[in-house]
Each structure stands twice: as C-alpha cells, then as structure tokens.
Amino acid sequence: MAFYDADTQAAAQSALGRALVTFHTPNDNPSVNGYADANFLRTRLYNYVASIQSYVLSKCPSAVFELLWPMDVNAPDNCRLTRYINLPSQWTTRPGSGFDTFLIEGYQYPGINHNLDQATRCAAYPWKELAWDQMHCRYLMGLYYGTWPWMREFVNVDRLGLPAIKLWAYDHVCLEVPLPASDDRSFIY
C-alpha cells in the first residue's frame, strides 16, 4: 500500500497525532479508528487534486477535467479501502466534483477475468451506483491481445448508451482493425 512515504507519514502524525494505521490490503476495512485514517488519506487525495485543478484553472480558466477512475482496483465489493480512499464523496456526483466527465475503466474484468458482466457493470457504475448523469460518463476499454473479448465488450457497453467509448492501446494491434457495427453513435478513440 503506497500510503507510507515520509511526507504522508509526517502529515498523518500532525493531523492524527499518531502514526497512520498500517493497512495491508485494498480490501481492509476503512472504518478502523472511526474512519480517521481512511478519511485522512481520502482528504489528502481530494486536496491534492483540487490544488492541481485550481492551478490549471488559474492559467487556463476554460479548462475542463475528466476523472479517470479504475474500478477493478477500487471495486466496492473486494477493494473496500481503496474504493473509499480513491473516490472522495465529492466525486460521486458531477455537481461540485470539479470534473466535467467521469471516465471509468476496469481492464481486469474483460482482459483477465474475461467477464463481460463485470465490464458492463463497470461501464454503468457512475450513473447506476453513483450519482453521475449518464451523459457525462465515458468508458475506457483496453485492447491488448488476441484473447481479449474487446468486440463483445464494445457492443455490450455501447448498448448502455454512453456518449463515448474510448480505446486504450488500440495502436498495439494496428489502425486497420474494424470496429463492430453498432448503433449510430460515433465511436471515439
């Protein structure tokens, strides 16, 4: 767990008056010490991102931000700690989040698990399980090797009605791979 660098440890000592509890797995219970340790880490992440957004907006007031959130390593079912820390409550809905769009990905689901149900749940997570509106949600799907069921993944996710599906590592195969026929929405890559 990458929570124990010197700077974070010093900040935890100052904020909590003690050392940060030792978390061992992504699925550890975030409620230890009444959520104090997990809330410290969550707030630290939120403040760090907010400071970046503030700086960028001071230089480019028209900038918009997209939250890229990997669900497979932050799954609410088996990664309770990382899900809690890496998704501050302010980011669970578009208004007030500081983000224009929510880009979700979960490469493990189709690529390693070969589970299209998990991939489809992942794609719909921002508006079905969080409070984002669907029109500001995006899905980032991977494309790495021959056994990846990417065409079926694309068709399943496209049926959800997302305004954009983005491919990552599309260039790993080539630019001549035909995209599956689907609805009339444009395909963004």
What value does the mean pLDDT take over residues 30-55?
Answer: 98
pLDDT, position 170 = 59
Does 184 reside within a domain? Answer: no
Does 182 reside within a domain? Answer: no
Does 115 reside within a domain? Answer: yes
Q: What DSSP line would sit under the chain, residue for residue? A: ----SHHHHHHHHHHHSSPPP---STTS-TTGGGGHHHHHHHHHHHHHHHHHHHHHHHH-TT---EEEEEGGGS-TTT-HHHHHHHS-GGGGSSTTTS-SEEEEE-TIIIIIS--HHHHHHHHHHHHHTS---GGGEEEEEE--STT--HHHHHHHHHTTT-S-EEEESGGGT-TTPPPPP-SSS----
pLDDT, position 144 = 74
pLDDT in tens, 74-88: 999 999 999 999 999
Does 31 reside within a domain? Answer: yes
| Mean of pLDDT over the chain | 91
Query: 92 or 186: which carries more pLDDT confidence?
Result: 92
Q: How many CB atoms lie within 10 A of CB 41?
A: 23
Containing structural domain, residue 18: 6-172
Does 153 reside within a domain? Answer: yes
The number of folded domains in the chain is 1
Does 183 reside within a domain? Answer: no
pLDDT in tens, 1-10: 789 999 999 9
Does 1 reside within a domain? Answer: no
% of the chain surpassing 90 pLDDT: 80
Model confidence, pTM? 0.87
Does 95 reside within a domain? Answer: yes
